[in-house]
Amino acid sequence: MKVGVIGASGYAGGELLRLLDGHPEFEVCAVTAHSNAGELITSVHPHLTSYKGRIFSAFDSTDFDCCELIFLALPHGESAGVIASLNGQAKIVDLGADYRLEDSASWLKYYGGTHAGTWSYGAPELPGARELIAKSNRVANPGCYATAIALGTVPAAKIADISDVVVVAASGTTGAGRSAKINLIASEVMGSLTSYKFGGVHQHTPEIEEAITRSTGISAKVSFTPILAPMPRGILATITMKLLAGVSKEQVRKAYESAFSKEEFVSLLPEGVMPKTSAVLGSNFVAMQVAVDEHTNRLVISVALDNLVKGAAGQAIQNANIICGLGENLGLTGQGIGA
């Protein structure tokens, strides 16, 4: 299939190009980047040696007329302006936030401007999502934090109180995008941890709540504190909530084993083994562990994933495989690079 990538100069766009190069059924034929138009792809992504000699083009919708599948990796709020000019027959996976939310008031509050609408939410491992994605030609790829937190929370719907979920999650600096920011330079980040968007104002909050509520039928409320970690990539989320009365450790583990027993890319680790970001680096894998804090009767879930793969480009390809009727794991791996 002929494939196009719009916005390929960012971190997620570069990861898309890397993974697509190894995909047996997709051929990248159009690659655009706004500020880097005219530059060699390898000047921005020097590790993508297979793209040697190819350049980023400026966006021209006619360049994508040949594409059967298009990925958008644009800043939030920019996808909607591009969609209308694209080939209406092409399947599209949007890595931005434009079509993730159902509630237009939440879009206005957390992003601002006009809400573009709602597409099928591309989190295949959530209940009922895979079937909906398979019927769709337009898919909104989830955010990286939202992927980790929704996957970690949904299996607890019948054993814990998901109306009061507390999350503290650390992410590598690539989660903030590629544009230059003083607070993200090495001298500011290395050897330091800091919270940001403190006090429940992170833009993934309504997306997380909608994803959990849609999957469980129970209204979810999430108090989310993100942390900037001194590493390029990876997310480690710690999720806690009150257990329902009488729920045992065994019931907790059974609930999570049942939720993901048939999932290739999500795994509940053996007891005593903790998720670590280095173990999922470069993979589409989600590592998870659960425990019960008996002192407070709280369920504690730890989730690790690579924010650029399962949190962005890898999940986008997973969704593309589904909407194209291909094997869901084509071009993807569940094995991390390791330390």
Reference 313, options 278, 284, 288; nearest CA is 284
144 is catalytic: yes
**The token pair that represents 242 in the structure block:** 């009150």
Tokens coding 162: 């998901």
With b for 16 or more beta-carbon neighbours within 10 A and e for fewer, the 127-158 pattern comes to eebbebbeebebbbbbbbbbbbbbbbbbbbbe
Q: What's the rounded Cα separation, in Å, for the pair 213 and 110?
A: 18
List for the chain the helix, strand, coil content (%; round to 5): 30, 20, 45
Q: How far apart are the first and last CA of the chain?
A: 35
Tell me which long-range contacts 269-278 makes (C-beta under 8 A, separation of at least 24). Answer: 274/302, 275/236, 275/302, 275/303, 275/304, 276/236, 276/304, 277/172, 277/231, 277/233, 277/234, 277/235, 277/236, 277/304, 277/306, 278/234, 278/336, 278/337, 278/338, 278/339
Q: Which residue among the candidates 29, 67, 144, 324 is catalytic per the annotation? A: 144
Catalytic residues: 144
